[in-house]
Amino acid sequence: MPRHGLNRGFSFILLSLLAAVYCDGVLAEGKVLRWKFQQGDHFHVVLTQSSVHETRVNNRPLKMTVAMTTELDWKIASVDEQGRGVMTQSFTRMALKMDNDQGQSLDFDSASESKLRGLAQGVAERIKPLIGLQIQLTMTDRGEIVEVALSDKAQSAISDAAKDARFKDLFSKEGLTQMLRQSAIVLPEKAVAEGDSWTTKTSANSPVGVLDQTHEFTYGSTEERDGRSLEKMTVQTSLDIRKAKSSSEPKLKLSDQSQTGDFYFDSESGNFVESTIKQKLTSETPYRDLLIHATVDSSMSMTIKRVTAP
C-alpha cells in the first residue's frame, strides 16, 4: 500500500478512537459543567425538608418532627454577557407539618382550601402573603447566587413572616439564599474527570447555632436516570459551630456530626435535576448547672424540572 494510503488509514483510526473517547466523556481534560441559562427558560423547583429534633434536659427527653415542602417557579428574565441568569422566583406552594411529644401539632398547606384553626390559622396569616410573591435572583453559570433583590412589597411580606420566631431564620433574605445554596452546589471552576474534587465554604443558621461549613465535592461519573444521562456528584461536609460573640450567649459544642449528599446535573440541557442531602448533628450546651443534649437528624431534597425552553 502506498505510504499516503497508510497515513490516511492510520489517521482515520486515530480520529475514530478520539471520537469514541470524546463520546464516552473521558477525555483527559475532563468535562466543563455549566448552567446554560436562556431568556425565557422556566423551571419548577420543589424543595422538601424533614427533620427530627430531640432534646434531653436532666434526662427528660423532648422530641419534635418537622416536615416542610416549598414549591417555586424560576423564570429567566435575562442573561448577561458572563452567562449569569437574572431570574424571578415566586413561591407557588408551601406546606408545613410539626408535631411534638407534648401533643401539639400543626398542619398547613397553602394549596388546601380547608378551614384552618389554632396554630395553623396563625401560620396561614404569615405564609399566605408569600404565595405568588416575586423575588429577583442572579445566579452565575456555576450556580453561585450572587444577588437577591427584594421589592418593597416582597420585603414587607417576608419581614411580617419572619416576626414569627418559627420562621425567623427561614423567611429572611439570608434564609432564602441559604435554602437554595444548601440544595444546589457551586460547580467546579475547571474541567473535571472522574474522581476530581473541589471545595467551597459557606455558613448557615441551624437549630444549634451558626454553622461554618466546608464542602468537599467529588465528581463521580455519568449515570442513566429516567432515560437521561446525568452527571453525578457527591459531597462530604465538615461543620464547626461559630463561637459565641458574647459570654451571655450559649456555648454550643458539637459532639457528633455528619453531612453527605448526592447531586445530579444534566450537562446537555445545562441545569441541575435533583439532589439529596442528609445531615445529623449532636450538640451539648451548658445551662446553669445543667447540660442540654440536642440531636437534629434531617434530610433535604430538591428537584428541578424544566417547564418550557425558549
Higher-confidence residue: 209 or 58?
58
Q: Are residues 149 and 297 in the same domain?
A: yes
pLDDT tens figures, 148-168: 888 777 777 777 766 665 665
Whether 217 and 183 map to the same domain: the answer is: yes
- CA Rg value for the chain: 24
- CATH label of the domain that carries residue 65: 2.30.230
Task: Answer yes or no: do 24 and 39 share one domain.
Answer: no
SS (H, E, C) the chain: CCHHHHHHHHHHHHHHHHHHHHHHCCCCCCECCCCCCCCCCEEEEEEEEEEEEEEEECCEEEEEEEEEEEEEEEEEEEECCCCCEEEEEEEEEEEEEEEECCCCEEEEECCCCCCCCHHHHHHHHHHHHHECCEEEEEECCCCCEEEEECCHHHHHHHHHHHCCHHHCCCCCHHHHHHHHHHHCCCCCCCCECCCCEEEEEEEEEECCEEEEEEEEEEEEEEEEECCEEEEEEEEEEEEEECCCCCCCCCCCEEEEEEEEEEEEEECCCCEEEEEEEEEEEEEEEEECCEEEEEEEEEEEEEEEEEEECC
- The grid coordinates of residue 290 equal 445543667
Count of structural domains within the chain: 2
CA distance 294 to 289: 16
Q: Does residue 22 share a domain with residue 68?
A: no
Q: Tell me the HSE value of 207 on the side-chain side, using a 13 A CA sphere.
A: 21
pTM over 0.75: yes
Residues 66 and 191 in one domain: yes
Band (pLDDT 50/70/90 cuts) for residue 242 is confident
CA 223 to chain centre: 21
Do 275 and 165 lie in one domain? The reply is yes
* Helices 152-162 and 173-183, packing angle to 10 deg: 90
Same domain, 296 and 173: yes
Predicted confidence band of residue 199 (pLDDT cuts 50, 70, 90): very high
- pLDDT band of residue 243 (cuts 50, 70, 90) is low
Is the same domain home to 164 and 232?
Answer: yes
pLDDT of residue 152: 79
Predicted confidence at residue 167, as pLDDT, reads: 62
Same domain, 9 and 36: no
Pair (113, 2) in one structural domain: no
Here the cell at position 216 is: 468537599
Q: Which of 33-37, 122-126, 197-201, 242-246 has the lowest mean pLDDT?
A: 242-246
Residues 11 and 59 in one domain: no
| Mean pLDDT comparison of 9-23, 89-103, 145-159, 163-177, highest-scoring range | 89-103
Give the rounded percent of residues in the chain with a pLDDT score beyond 70: 77
> Domain check: are 75 and 222 in the same one?
yes
The whole domain housing 281 covers 31-308
